[in-house]
Amino acid sequence: MSTPDRDQNTANGTGFSRRDFIRGSGAAMAATAIATSTVEARADDKAAKPNVKPAEATEVTLTVNGKEHKLKLEPRVTLLDTLRTDLSLTGCKDVCDTANCGACTVHIDGKAVYACTRLAHDCEGKKITTVESLKDGDKVDPVVSCFVKHDASQCGFCTPGFVMAVRAFLNSKPKASLDEVRKGLGGNICRCGTYHGITECALEMAKGG
Ligand code: FES
Ligand code: FES
């Protein structure tokens, strides 16, 4: 028995079989699908990456520890990054960078503030004080000596932030009670658990020690 050839299977004898037709339309559909998905992918890509130009760095003058610094910064830069990177004031630590730990505490116009939550440009015209200001030659702020006396530091990573928090707290409440000390320092975290020493230090100073 002979195998039917292509001509025998065509309706009009042109040599174009049903199988050829199905093969051809399958390929066309696949090509259309690929083309469509490429166009969609490009559209998605455009949507994911809008044509946003980086903001330009502009001039800002920051007053830190009594000195004026003229800087050129992008608007997105935080005070913490500026202090550490541009001014090499690395006492304030970058730990959580999300306003959760207090390691970056500095003073702005006398108030304890998380430097990671402030944009540098927003601090123009304000008085910024960092932990470095608590040392003048051989002299250190009494809070620093009291931390040493009460062994209120282990790894030390939270310590500069805590020292600044204690200093600001005692400036505003020099005669604080134990409860007030605990509440007043609640914005700072110590992973080494030196809370007892820090509380003792703040209390001793509140009692005039
Ligand atoms: S680094 Fe700013 S609060 Fe933790
Ligand atoms: S001393 Fe280590 S985190 Fe506080």
When pLDDT is averaged across residues 140-144 and rounded to a whole number, the result is 97
Instruction: From 158, 185, 188, 195, give the residue whose CB has the most ligand 2 atoms within 8 Å, as the site to mutate.
Output: 158
How large a percentage of the chain has pLDDT more than 90?
Answer: 73
When pLDDT is averaged across residues 51-66 and rounded to a whole number, the result is 92
Which pLDDT score is estimated for 165?
A: 98
Question: How remote is the CA of residue 158 from the centroid of ligand 2, in Å?
Answer: 5
Which pLDDT score is estimated for 52?
A: 78
Which pLDDT score is estimated for 24?
A: 62
Residues 122 and 133: their CA atoms lie apart, in Å, by 21
Which pLDDT score is estimated for 53?
A: 80
Looking from the CA of residue 102, the nearest atom of ligand 1 is 3
Question: How remote is the CA of residue 83 from the centroid of ligand 2, in Å?
Answer: 21
When pLDDT is averaged across residues 106-133 and rounded to a whole number, the result is 98
Which pLDDT score is estimated for 169?
A: 98
Which pLDDT score is estimated for 38?
A: 58
When pLDDT is averaged across residues 126-154 and rounded to a whole number, the result is 97
Which pLDDT score is estimated for 51?
A: 78
- The secondary element (H helix, E strand) that includes residue 20 is helix 18-48
With beta carbons less than 8 A apart as the criterion, state whether 173 and 206 touch: yes
pLDDT digits over 157-188, tens only?
999 999 999 999 999 999 999 999 999 999 99
pLDDT digits over 15-55, tens only?
555 566 556 666 666 555 555 555 565 666 666 777 778 78
E strands, 1-134, are 58-64, 67-73, 105-108, 111-114, 127-129
Which pLDDT score is estimated for 8?
A: 43
Spatial strand order of the sheet with 111-114 comes to 67-73, 58-64, 127-129, 105-108, 111-114
Q: Cβ(116) to ligand 1 under 6 A?
A: yes
pTM of the model: 0.76
Question: Which tops the pLDDT comparison, 6 or 178?
Answer: 178
Q: Cβ(192) to ligand 2 under 6 A?
A: yes
Instruction: From 92, 104, 159, give the residue whose CB has the most ligand 1 atoms within 8 Å, as the site to mutate.
Output: 104
With beta carbons less than 8 A apart as the criterion, state whether 51 and 35 touch: no
Looking from the CA of residue 154, the nearest atom of ligand 2 is 1
When pLDDT is averaged across residues 76-84 and rounded to a whole number, the result is 98
Looking from the CA of residue 93, the nearest atom of ligand 1 is 1
Question: Which tops the pLDDT comparison, 23 or 58?
Answer: 58
Looking from the CA of residue 80, the nearest atom of ligand 1 is 2
